[in-house]
Structure 1
């Protein structure tokens, strides 16, 4: 009798425990559903719709517009600002010119800055435009231009240093005139040397871009050849001072390489914006 009573008691306890565990499981499931409702693990967006794709026509328009802005901004910064204000081997005259034309000098810095941002935009747009030709190589080419723009941004800080040195402040008033001239000319030469050296990266970029254009079946191959020639021209002109400094290159070569780039820009804006999506 006692054994039977003990068994019944144990059975009741086990049933009670099972009921308690079941209640806990139900509560946990309810809490989990509540938490998932309040804090969903995935964003509550409609993922059934594909992300909008940029067409080749739009990519060509963006790339052509970015480079077209650079075609006007770079000559202005170079010829209307830098070469007008900076006189080589004459630091006193250079400082006087910049101080008398600080707004123009700031505009030149802004033009350089705009061109570097346009470089990034052109790199992205041309990556999309040439992606059907070779996706991996197009991505590598785009990143090379982004690196070129990033290095140029650091080089541009030299002109910002010149601007700060020649802006009237308490610091400038206590600096010796000869020391100020040395600092200004050193910063200007650092900018010019860095600016010229980065064109080696740009030359490699143009060679890769030319290859991509040449192998594509929706862009005239002649444009790829012209871009590759322009890239080689940049490389020859900017490696020369470090390898054979006494060798002089005709300035016509630089004008020709620049003209080849303009031809490609014209094609992007006129023909590229009407191109059909390749199969």
Structure 2
């Protein structure tokens, strides 16, 4: 059976969400993907030397991390506003799980800057390379922790987009299926499991979810800003 309803779809909110999605992708790709590759070495001494030699890049990465956290706060509220009329329960799950992710991201940023803070203190020249490497390793693991929260968020968001009949179904399914990439990777990395077949599956799922997230952000920015009329929602 189908029934026609009017979702409380805010076209301006959709545009904001799309812009925030793309801003997070750019800033997060730089701070999480690029900067650690230039700083973290195979051992503490190398990492410490890289940190000292790339101080400006490191601080720029910290700035980008701060921007991501602020953007995440905004988009969490905006997505809740967009989808709460579809399912208050699932929208709340999406809200809480993404908020939990933001908390972990904030704590992870604190861990990331500890080595630099130690270098700036009076005992800077005596910073322990082992401590530096431990902090960076803890930061790496922290990423996998917040991925667990984000995976749950994407499951809820994917379900909401499919149910909405506003967002293209293929994007919702991509978010839902790809969410397992974050969930599986988070679990196996935190349990120190290394199996080629699982790694290959994770890569495939992460490709799906990355393409889906970027497409979702672009759709919200370009097409989602056009306020839809009544939509048909399938229901049992």
- TM bin (shorter chain): 0.7 to 0.9
Q: Per-residue displacement from partner, 1:187-233 (whole Å, max 9, x unpaired)?
A: 11111101112101101110011111111132222221111011111
Match of 1:102 among 41, 55, 66: 55
Which one of the candidate residues 186, 208, 212 is aligned to 1:256?
Answer: 208
CA offset digits 1:62-110 (Å, max 9, x no partner): 111111101111111134311112113x211111111111111011111
Q: Describe how 1:72-91 pairs up with structure 2 within 5 A.
A: 72-88=26-42, 90-91=43-44
1:225 corresponds, among 152, 173, 179, to 173
Aligned match of 1:273: 225
Structure with more relative contact order (C-alpha pairs < 8 Å, separation 6 or more): 2
> 1:145-165, CA deviations, whole angstroms, 9 ceiling, x for partnerless residues?
111111110111011211112
Question: Could you say which residue in structure 2 is the equivalent of 1:209?
Answer: 157
- Equivalent residues of 2:22, 2:217 under 8 A apart: yes
Within-5 A mapping of 1:140-179:
140-167=93-120, 169-173=121-125, 175=126
Cα distance change on mapping 1:114 and 1:195 into 2, 3 Å:
same
Measured in 2, the distance between the counterparts of 1:72 and 1:259 equals: 14
| Cα distance in structure 2, aligned partners of 1:144 and 1:74 | 18
Counterparts of 1:242 and 1:86, CA distance in 2: 19
Structure 1 length as normaliser, TM-score? 0.73
* Contact preservation (8 Å) 1:119, 1:149: yes
Q: Distance in 2 between matches of 1:166 and 1:256?
A: 40
Give unpaired runs (5+ residues) of structure 1: 1-53
Q: Whole-Å Cα distance in 1 between the matches of residues 13 and 49 of structure 2?
A: 45
Give the total of aligned pairs. 220
**Which of 12, 17, 26 is 1:58 aligned to?**
12
Mapped partners of 2:230, 2:107: distance in 1:
39
Change (3 A) 1:110 1:76: same
Q: Matches of 1:121 and 1:182 in 2, distance apart?
A: 37
> 5+ unaligned residues in a row in structure 2: which ranges?
1-7, 232-236
* Structure 2: distance between partners of 1:154 and 1:209: 24
Computed over aligned residues only, the root mean square deviation of the Cα atoms, in angstroms, reads 1.9
On the 8 A contact 1:92/1:181 being kept in 2, the answer is: yes
Map of 2:3 onto structure 1: none
Which secondary structure does the structure 2 equivalent of 1:273 belong to? coil
